[in-house]
Amino acid sequence: MRIAISTKGYRGLDDEVSDELARSRTITLIDIYGKEKGYHLVEVIKNKAVDFSHGAGPVFAYLLVEKGVKLVVGPDIGVGVQELFNEIGIKFLKYSPKTKVRDVVNDLLRKGLN
Q: Are strands 91-94 and 71-74 parallel, antiparallel or unpaired?
A: parallel
Which domains does the chain show, CATH number per domain? 2-110 (3.30.420.130)
CA–CA distances in Å: residue 52 to residues 55, 74, 91: 7, 18, 23
- What are 76-103's pLDDT values in tens digits? 999 999 999 999 999 999 999 999 999 9
Give percent of the chain with pLDDT exceeding 70. 99
* Res 8 pLDDT > 70: yes
pLDDT at 113: 80
Please state, in angstroms and rounded to a whole number, the distance separating the CA atoms of residues 24 and 95.
14
Stated length of the chain: 114
